[in-house]
Amino acid sequence: MGKLDGRVAIVTGASRGIGEEIAKLFAAEGAKVVCAARTLNEGDHSLEGSLARTVERIKAAGGEAIAVTADVSDEASCLALVEKARQTYGFVDILVNNAALNYYIPTADYPTNRWIRSFAVNVHGPFILSKAVIPDMIRTGRGAIVNISSGSAIGPGRGPYEDKTVKGGVMYGATKAALERFTQGLAQELAQHGTIAVTAVSPSQVVPTPGTVFHKLVSGIDDPRGEPPEYMAKAALLLASEPAEKVNGRVTYSQQILKEFGWIEKAAGRGVDTPGSGYSQV
């Protein structure tokens, strides 16, 4: 018996990185997984990874999944994604909002259209998809919405600012802070049902992925300072499978929640000792 037997999950940003790991683990635990992203085939994007590859790996391991191209910044595309999931599997009772966008540009130079598009992907998409699947979760009597956040949601405080280096992460941090506030607001609204959990989880440290390598946040996929992507996948699985009363409204970090529930014995690398990673709202 898998932890997600009989469940149907949509995972956005499933073509590579954390999203791919979540999709593979959910399928291994028995879920039927709808893998969504913009990159259908290898070569469609400059970064390695594709929906076709993710689904192929899931099926090769004995799991069940389909690939659906979707632009989560667009409402019509989001609704088409949910409808495709329903047509294929009947309902959706797990949603993982993993897709994210950032350009790492200082605010003074940030093109307005890119700023708006980033908010559309990182905040508006999770709202639209959540709104679309909530009726299924109420009808089936169970549900989990897991939002993938970031430690950048915690601001630098009031200063003084000793580090004068411009990071270009203002927009990304702002969207993730908004996502975490959305998480707990929606968790409160849905608490009346008692069986739907809305949560957010961030990596305890930077996860080496094609994207973080591209942005030079890590030295490479094998950077020993990084957190294995499997930790985020396990944390998402925990939040999607534990009873709602145990996790609803949690905004936490991967290794923190895994240690709390006994899914890992100790943190990897710097783990929960990284700056800001002690943050959690229960």
Given pLDDT bands bounded at 50, 70 and 90, which one contains residue 267? Answer: low
pLDDT tens digits, 20-34: 999 999 999 999 999
Catalytic residue, candidates 89, 103, 172, 279: 172
What is the percentage of the chain residues whose pLDDT exceeds 90? 71
What pLDDT is stored for residue 99 in this prediction?
96
Nearest to 222 by CA among 210, 208, 236: 208
What pLDDT is stored for residue 71 in this prediction?
97
Residue 147 contacts residue 183 (beta carbons within 8 Å): yes
What pLDDT is stored for residue 219 in this prediction?
65
Given pLDDT bands bounded at 50, 70 and 90, which one contains residue 220? Answer: confident
pLDDT tens digits, 179-205: 999 999 999 999 999 999 999 999 987
Given pLDDT bands bounded at 50, 70 and 90, which one contains residue 48? Answer: confident
The Cα 102–Cα 111 span in angstroms is 12
Can you tell me the mean pLDDT for 96-107? 93
Amino acid in position 212: T
How far CA 3 is from CA of 29, 82, 94, 230, in Å, comes to: 5, 23, 13, 16
What pLDDT is stored for residue 236 in this prediction?
97
What pLDDT is stored for residue 211 in this prediction?
66
Locate the domains of the chain by residue range.
Answer: 8-273
Of residues 41 and 62, the one with the higher pLDDT is 62
**pTM, two decimal places:** 0.90
Given pLDDT bands bounded at 50, 70 and 90, which one contains residue 266? Answer: low
Average pLDDT over all residues of the chain: 89
Say whether pLDDT at 280 is over 50: no
Task: Look up the CATH number of domain 8-273.
Answer: 3.40.50.720
Instruction: List the structure tokens of 76.
Output: 């019509």
Can you tell me the mean pLDDT for 153-180? 88
Can you tell me the mean pLDDT for 80-95? 98
Can you tell me the mean pLDDT for 146-169? 86
The Cα 264–Cα 276 span in angstroms is 20
Per-residue b/e over 5-19, b at no fewer than 16 CB within 10 Å? eebbbbbbbbbbbbb
Residue 9 contacts residue 36 (beta carbons within 8 Å): no
Per-residue b/e over 42-72, b at no fewer than 16 CB within 10 Å? eebbeebbbbbbbbeebeeeebebbbbbbbb
Q: Is 172 a catalytic residue?
A: yes
What pLDDT is stored for residue 277 in this prediction?
33
pLDDT tens digits, 227-262: 888 999 999 999 999 999 999 999 999 999 999 999
The Cα 25–Cα 20 span in angstroms is 9
What pLDDT is stored for residue 273 in this prediction?
33
Say whether pLDDT at 274 is over 50: no
